[in-house]
Structure 1
């Protein structure tokens, strides 16, 4: 054991360890967070678009029902016009006045057992009211 020498040999060609700043983990986390937010945003927009597209539109359905009424069935169509037309009566003051006038004209076709067909003036009021509706 007497042979023990110190091995502290100076090394001239090896440089000391240098600390290198590494940001790749932060870049990865930032890009991942951005991708997750982007996917969530696109999912939300797709979901809201599908929900809006398939939503029941009461005004559109009632307008279609008014357009396709069979006016030859006088009594039933008088009730249907009163029911479906009420959806649009609060759109404006002009709609309300027209609706009230139309309902007053339809009263004579509702409460009888047998009714005759619509007169030309009432048919004109029905068409005028249907023409006023915006859906």
Structure 2
């Protein structure tokens, strides 16, 4: 009996190269496949092309913010069940509530730690088990 977690395809959407690279390193150390997007439009293309199991999405981004990106993903029946975790440097109740309103499952405050990121993957990876 293997206790190894399944490899998940995780999309990280953030306009900060530093945040994207940190998340990529942490997630790869956790044994996951990582996709990176630098804004909402880039994210939507990658969601469609690669069908990630989990999405971490920054809120404050140019062109298409995280709330809009999440709402568009959740409106598509093919991706509505994909968990989205919002990323923000703000830790306000309003921001968390707005994230839930557009369909986000959770909210991580930046800067996040490796443990926080992998814990979120573990928590929401259960939802996606059996998804190819």
TM-score by length of 2: 0.25
TM-score by length of 1: 0.25
More helix by share: 1
